[in-house]
Amino acid sequence: MLILSRKPGESIVIDGRIKVTIIRAEGEAIKVGIEAPAEVPVHRQEIYDEIQRSNQQAITRPSVALPKFIGATNKPKSAASSASATGKP
């Protein structure tokens, strides 16, 4: 882990695409601003952990059988019925 000291208004740049700026320090709370491309997800750690747990549960949860559709069947039409439907003998 890289540990840096920054003052309010100072920034760090990650991978040339992500900029983290210290906005304000209030007691034990530090306010940071993060500029990142839209395709880079940025989450608080606790939210990220919850997303990972949820994804893992979705993978391991047994799948539920979907109800079967009761209605028209996919039986092939006979030659006679398809000919009469087109109007051709």
41-79 pLDDT per residue, tens: 999 999 999 999 999 988 887 767 778 888 766 555 655
Instruction: Say how many domains are in the chain.
Output: 1
Q: Over the chain, what is the mean pLDDT?
A: 85
Instruction: Answer yes or no: is pLDDT of 81 > 60.
Output: no
Residue 50 lies in a domain: yes
Provide the Cα torsion 29, 26, 43, 15; round to 10°: -110
Range of the domain at 43: 11-60
What is the predicted pLDDT for the residue at 57?
A: 87
Residue 65 lies in a domain: no
Residue 4 lies in a domain: no
What is the reported pTM?
Answer: 0.60
**35-48 b/e (C-beta count within 10 Å ≥ 16 → b):** eeeeeeeeeeeeee
Residue 5 lies in a domain: no
Residue 47 lies in a domain: yes
